[in-house]
Amino acid sequence: MRIAFAGTPAFAATALQALLAAGYEICLVLSQPDRPAGRGQQLQAAPVKRLALERAIPVITPSSLRVERAGEEAEQALARLHTAEPDVLVVAAYGLLLPSQVLQLPRGLALPNGSVGAINIHASLLPRWRGAAPVVRAIEAGDRQSGITIMQMDAGLDTGPILLMESIDIGPEETAGQLTERLASLGGRLIVTALRQIARGQLPSRAQPSEGVVYAHKVQKREAWIDWHEPAERLAARVRAFDPFPGACTRIAGQTIKVWRAHALAAAQRRAGTDAALPGTVLAVGSDGVLVACGDGVLRLEQLQRPGGKRIESREFLARTPIAVGANLDTPEQGADAD
């Protein structure tokens, strides 16, 4: 079985590593172009590209596979994919839209009820959280479960038939980064299982349910700002959802502060009169964190970061940057991007 693989971040590199460990032949890798990163903003290859180069696998990094957008660059990439003659294309967090001509290039693998040419490893329980940011949106929404769907790709946005699916529980303190790592391991295991079952003729596809469709829209930097008028429970979930990107943040006296760990206080833990305070008001400051009034409830900020600094516990942060009781944490005008 000849496999072409399309993916970019560490999530996808885990799947590629699983395929290689299982002995599959990877005839070509597609990944996004190198991006500037770090303080020096030097170009760095994505994890999938680095793994492909380490294993001496041919890799291409077109900026787009749409000829109308990238012209000759896209034509050359399509020609490389055609020449590689893959039986199937496996996709995991590639980050670029795949035109229908790409999905039709593989020779295809037989299923009991059809055939499949392109398979996607998607980090949600479809049809919930179709789209670009399923892990972030699941945590932000307070979902208790996530999972991996191995699906047959079609022209729609994560609308293709399901081949294999497995769920996992989301931990109450789990961040998007932590959940992504667990889902990456699950995705690597499931894609190998799916390909083996397909080879044995034991994996039919099934249509996605028509009910329960929810879209996971791409995360924008401006979403990072904490709106203190929202309930504390929702804000605590958003802090976890936006770790590691873009990082939830607020502002005090014109200085942006990132919040990396926070908990909503139960009613029994709140001090008398705190529910009447204006949202964004600092209610108390102590070794266990900074208590802030929200639209509903109180949020305790436990791990913070100043501009140019590192994530540190609140007690260490307060020793360097005092925050007074009664101070107001605010949010820039709607639409402003976080730093």
Q: Is the pLDDT of residue 269 over 90?
A: no
Tell me what the mean pLDDT of segment 146-175 comes to.
Answer: 97
> 136: burial class by Cβ within 10 Å (0-12, 13-18, 19+)?
buried
Per-residue pLDDT tens for 272-303? Answer: 556 678 999 999 999 999 999 999 999 999 99
- Give residue 12's identity as a one-letter amino acid code: A
Alpha helix stretches (DSSP H) within the chain? 10-21, 47-54, 67-70, 72-84, 100-103, 134-140, 176-199, 232-241, 314-320
Q: Is the pLDDT of residue 123 over 90?
A: yes
3-state secondary structure of 126: coil
- How far lies 97's CA from each of 18, 34, 38, 59, 148, in Å? 24, 17, 26, 18, 20
pLDDT for the residue 180: 98
Identify the structural domains of the chain with CATH numbers, from first to last.
2-216 (3.40.50.170), 221-320 (3.10.25.10)
Percentage with pLDDT > 70 across the chain: 94
- How far lies 307's CA from each of 219, 255, 261, in Å? 21, 8, 16
pLDDT for the residue 143: 98
Per-residue pLDDT tens for 218-260? Answer: 999 999 999 999 999 999 999 999 999 999 999 998 899 999 9
pLDDT for the residue 179: 98
3-state secondary structure of 331: coil
Q: Is the pLDDT of residue 115 over 90?
A: yes
Residue 240 phi, psi dihedral angles, 5° rounding? -70, -40
pLDDT for the residue 253: 83
Per-residue pLDDT tens for 32-88? Answer: 999 987 667 788 999 999 999 999 999 999 999 999 988 999 999 999 999 999 999
Q: C-alpha angle with apex 62: 61 to 64, nearest 5 degrees? A: 140
How is residue 206 annotated by DSSP? B
pLDDT tier for residue 203 given thresholds of 50, 70 and 90: very high
Instruction: Return the half-sphere exposure (C-beta side, CA atoms, 13 A cut-off) of residue 44.
Output: 11
Give the Cα separation of 263 and 171 in Å (integer).
14
pLDDT for the residue 50: 98
Asked whether 176 and 183 are in contact (CB, 8 A), the reply is no
Average pLDDT, the chain: 94
| C-beta atoms surrounding 25 within 10 Å | 12
3-state secondary structure of 278: coil
pLDDT for the residue 270: 58
DSSP per-residue letters across 25-88:
EEEEEE-PPPEEETTTTEEE--HHHHHHHHTT--EE--S-S-HHHHTHHHHHHHHHHHHH--SE
Quick check: bond before 244 cis, omega within 30? Answer: yes
pLDDT for the residue 336: 64
Paired tokens of 76: 């050359």
Q: Is the pLDDT of residue 334 over 60?
A: no
Q: C-alpha angle with apex 131: 130 to 132, nearest 5 degrees? A: 145
Give the Cα separation of 29 and 73 in Å (integer).
16
pLDDT for the residue 146: 98
Instruction: Return the half-sphere exposure (C-beta side, CA atoms, 13 A cut-off) of residue 82.
Output: 9
